[in-house]
A and B are shown apart, each in its own frame.
Chain A
Amino acid sequence: MHPLIRYVLQRAALALLVVWTGITITFVLSRLMPFNAADLFISRLVAQGGTLTGEQIEAMRRQLLELYGLEKSIIEQYLIFLRNYMVTGEMGPSFAYFPTSVKDVIAKALPWSLLLLIMTSVVSWLVGNGIGILAALTKHRRVSNVLETIAVAFQPIPFAVLAISFLVFYALILKLPIPAPGYVTTGSAIEMLIYMLRRAAFPLMVLVLFGWFGGFVSMKAIALKMREEDFIVYSFLQGAPTNSIRYMIFRNSILPQFTGLVLGLSRVFIGSLLVEYIFNYPGIGYILQGAIANADYNLMLGVLFFATVATAVATFILDLVYPLIDPRIRYPGQG
């Protein structure tokens, strides 16, 4: 087999392994919970004051157990769970949006989330790295030091905390309006996209506001170190004009940052879920909130599954793309 094909297959297998591990952990966690989906559903019905007799409840419980496959042995449940998630994509019905299937609920929200997530990662990355390199090359040390202080102070704070603090600040202190929820379901694809982008603009701004620190701090550090590298000094001594040297510093510093771009996707994930909810942005975060509020555990599992898949896919893409951009990393079997 060609080594390149083997490499791709290996990486793909690794990604599958990650997904499988994720599913297994999810499964184990869900079965370790002291209650199951059927009991939960019924207890909610009862709590809502439904007038049901004991037999009716028992019948319903059995039906639900069957629906969720909970009456089978744990091994069988696991195998079915695996098959459903990894092969057929059937993740059962959602409670919160009963009887819509989890698959459909997620499928509807996913494009929204992906749009926001990808735009956030890319824009934050561009902004962070852009001002990072400028800060490293500028003569205005004061400005760049102030930026660095801010970035270093905020960077370790979890994204979720930042997002919530921002909301408190925005809604309770500044008392600014929060956009209304709702989907537009008609219109051409272009109109839809424009609508989505408009809806995404505000959460995007908020996410980028807190998303640039990481890129900035690491870019500035890398570029400052790069300035002193032997080959940069050598180019200077060869008579390279300042702009060529700047470009060289940029080109060599940006490479390691691509990892940040792809991994940023997963870092932003939870934060963006929160921000979606906060701004009524109809993505995964919004439905996850619904899922949590309604104890919709199928839907939660589905969302978790997507988070796992997203991380695995991102890593896989990174593995494949790196040798293209950095000549020091080669595919096996290549010159």
Chain B
Amino acid sequence: MSLDILTVNNLDGGYEVFIGNRRVFVHAVDDVSLTLHDNEVLGVAGESGCGKSTLAKMVYGGIIPPLVVRSGSISLVTRGGEVLEMNKLDIDTIRRKIWWIEISYIPQNSMNVLNPLKRIKDQFIGVFKYHNIEMDKNEIIKYLKDTLTTLSLPPEVINAYPHQLSGGMRQRVVIALSLLFNPRIVLADEPTTAVDVVTQRVILSLLKEWRENNKSSFILISHDMSVHAYMDNRIAIMYAGNIVELGNTFDVFREPLHPYTKALIESLIRKGDKSIRKGLAGQPPDLINPPPGCRFHPRCPYAINICRAKEPPTTSLDKDRYVRCWLYANPR
């Protein structure tokens, strides 16, 4: 039985923003519970605007206004076996003990997050300094060159400034940065958006290999179901701030339960399939005023009356499989 190294309970939050003078709340993460096992890839899928990145920021603990957390708890088991209640720690402890050492983060716009005035190698050296980790400069450089080579980047990259690299190269540099201290958890938010499909596959397989060697866990966020099919052990489907389905990747792809999951998987191109893919009509709802009942009901081909009135309960089908949909909520 695998250990849960990260447990998220009833996490709820969003953005407090002003529209004109009116204060509104963008309810981007609505009562989300998740666990992350030791040595696995947990995927988070869903169209853009569903709250995936917000969930990542909240799990990481990087709460920067206008983002606010309204409730929920996150506990983390460190490599040393210590159990930490992240929501009870002050930001300085999180910064020193957790970030980059236990959990690292690849932000969504990773090709634009490097300091424009610093050479790549100095940005790596900087991270050592942030965590007061002593290391010989030559050793860092050598280590760096190796890491970058594993991500199929030329070693000269270390002397470049960010603007001298392509978006895809910068993205790989940021990935390399996140793996620097062999963290137990890597939170990767759309890590391969700036690269072409071929490079994407190369990077994903390198990430896969790195993870298997280091026995780390990934939370991998992507709107791209083919990325999930390739990478994930388990997958969570997110719609309008809710996790609507969660299960082993194989099971979910073979037999999707939630109508939204079905639509996402149907939009994938299968080998040998020549029929035109039908996409899902419409867009995710406005999270300031989400629809009542099941948030998916306006787009759902199977919607029944109760879907419009009441939020669906979570139905567990299996130890690691659940769905939030009235179609499966039989009152037996």
Contact = CB atoms under 8 A, between A and B. Distances in A.
Do they bind each other? yes
A235 B99 contact: no
B161 A327 contact: yes
A248 interface: yes
Most buried by B among A231, A234, A326: A234
Contacts of B130: 235, 238-241, 244
Contacts of A193: none
Nearest to A245: B130
B319 to A, nearest CB: 34
A236 B177 CA distance: 14
B1 interface: no
B296 to A, nearest CB: 32
Interface stretch (B112-120, B225-233, B306-314, B324-332): B112-120
Given A237-B62, A239-B130, A328 B163 contact: yes
A252 interface: yes
Nearest to B178: A238
A332 to B, nearest CB: 15
Interface in A194-240: 230-231, 233-240
B113 A230 contact: yes
Given A237-B62, A241-B95, A230 B126 contact: no
A239 B113 contact: no
Interface residues of B, number: 26
A225 to B, nearest CB: 14
B131 to A, nearest CB: 6
A239 B117 contact: no
A255 interface: yes
Interface string A174-206: 000000000000000000000000000000000
A236 B62 contact: yes
A2 interface: no
B114 A237 contact: no
B126 A239 contact: no
Contact of A244 (B99, B117, B126): B126
Contacts of A235: 115, 126, 130
Interface in B68-119: 95-96, 99-101, 105, 107, 109, 112-117
A251 interface: yes
Given A244-B126, A244-B129, A238 B99 contact: yes
A231 B115 contact: yes
B64 interface: yes
A239 B114 CA distance: 14
B127 interface: yes
A251 B117 contact: yes
Contact of A252 (B99, B115, B163): B115
A255 B117 contact: yes
Interface residues of A, number: 20
Given A236-B62, A328-B161, A328-B163, A231 B116 contact: yes
Contacts of B107: 230, 233-234, 237
A239 B99 contact: yes
Contact of A328 (B105, B113, B116, B129): B116
B60 interface: yes
B95 A239 contact: yes
B161 A230 contact: no
A43 B199 CA distance: 85
Interface in A232-286: 233-241, 244, 248, 251-252, 255
A237 B60 contact: yes
Contacts of B112: 230-231
Contacts of B95: 239, 241
Contact of A237 (B101, B105, B163): B105
Contacts of B60: 237
Contacts of B129: 244
A233 B99 CA distance: 13
A335 to B, nearest CB: 8
Contacts of A326: 117
Given A237-B99, A238-B127, A327 B117 contact: yes
Contacts of A240: 126, 130
A229 B130 CA distance: 19
A238 B60 CA distance: 11
A231 B109 CA distance: 10
Given A241-B95, A328-B161, A233 B64 contact: yes
28 contacts: A230-B107, A230-B112, A231-B112, A233-B64, A233-B107, A233-B113, A234-B114, A236-B64, A237-B99, A237-B105, A237-B107, A238-B127, A238-B177, A239-B100, A239-B101, A239-B127, A239-B130, A239-B131, A240-B126, A248-B115, A251-B117, A252-B117, A255-B117, A326-B117, A327-B116, A327-B161, A328-B161, A328-B163
Q: Lowest 4 A-B CB distances belong to which pairs?
A: A234-B113, A239-B99, A240-B130, A231-B115
Given A235-B126, A239-B127, A327-B116, 16 more contacts: A230-B107, A231-B112, A233-B62, A233-B107, A234-B114, A235-B115, A237-B99, A238-B130, A239-B131, A240-B126, A240-B130, A241-B130, A244-B126, A326-B117, A328-B116, A328-B163
